[in-house]
Amino acid sequence: MLPLQRVEERIRILNTALVPLLRGARRYLSIWSQLQRISKKPLETYTTSDYTVTIFLAEMPGSNPLLIAYYISTQASRPLSPSQLAARIRRVLKEVNKLRNKLFTAADILYIVYAPRGFTKGARKLARTKGINLATTQREILAPVARYITKRFNKLLNKIKGKRIWGNLPLLLYALQEIGISIGANIKKVLDTLDLIRLVEKGGKIT
């Protein structure tokens, strides 16, 4: 595959992840900006010139920003070996660290490495020890994000259900809900826009 073809392939794969992420983020950010002042630029995407590393950063109400760092490999000859995966992990960590203390100080970070031919057994073991999520198909590329959002959404919902809430708590729940629904996570819609405005401004309960 020629260099330009590799770039085009990376962009095509990235779009399967970024388009639904951006769609969900823009939905809650639009409401958040109308209800409260957002002190930082709420949404950033950073991509290296060759599109191997792409970073999605979204501010979350009353919480650390959500950062998703993707490494897209187009190696088609064989599965990634441990040494190859280690080099890709170093690259993505380097790019994230370039943004640290510029765009964020602390964040909830997910690292995802995509490789169409997969990973050797040793590479998968290395990924587990480093906390790196692996994907081999376009369908899998959002799966780690969906699992994370679903777990966090359900945990927050169970914590606040039946209790009086206002301000950032309903906004955070709504943010997780909108991202989750947009990326196809197993999340039930519990807040519409009118409910959210009422809870943020006057307080109330989710039953």
Distance CA 68, CA 75 (A): 22
Q: Which of 92, 89, 79 minimizes the C-alpha distance to 121? A: 79
**Which residues fall within 8 angstroms of residue 146, CB to CB, at 6 or more apart?**
180, 183, 184, 185, 186
Distance CA 130, CA 45 (A): 24
Dihedral of the CA atoms 44, 103, 85, 127 (nearest 10)?
A: -100
For residue 67, pLDDT beyond 80: yes
Distance CA 87, CA 59 (A): 29
**E runs forming strands in 13-139:** 43-47, 53-60, 63-72, 108-114, 133-135
What pLDDT is attached to residue 2? 62
What pLDDT is attached to residue 116? 94
> What backbone phi and psi angles, to 5 degrees, belong to 168?
-70, -25
What pLDDT is attached to residue 1? 61
Q: How confident is the model at residue 39 (pLDDT cuts 50, 70, 90)?
A: confident
DSSP 126: H
Distance CA 121, CA 74 (A): 19
Distance CA 189, CA 82 (A): 41
Q: How confident is the model at residue 37 (pLDDT cuts 50, 70, 90)?
A: confident
Average pLDDT for 162-184: 95
What pLDDT is attached to residue 38? 84
Looking at every residue in the chain, the average pLDDT score rounds to 94
Average pLDDT for 160-183: 95
Give the pLDDT confidence of 68-127 residue by residue, as tens digits: 999 999 988 899 999 999 999 999 999 999 999 999 999 999 999 999 999 999 999 999
Average pLDDT for 127-146: 95
Average pLDDT for 150-155: 97
For residue 30, pLDDT beyond 80: yes
Question: Residue 198: helix, strand or coil by DSSP?
Answer: helix
Distance CA 153, CA 187 (A): 8
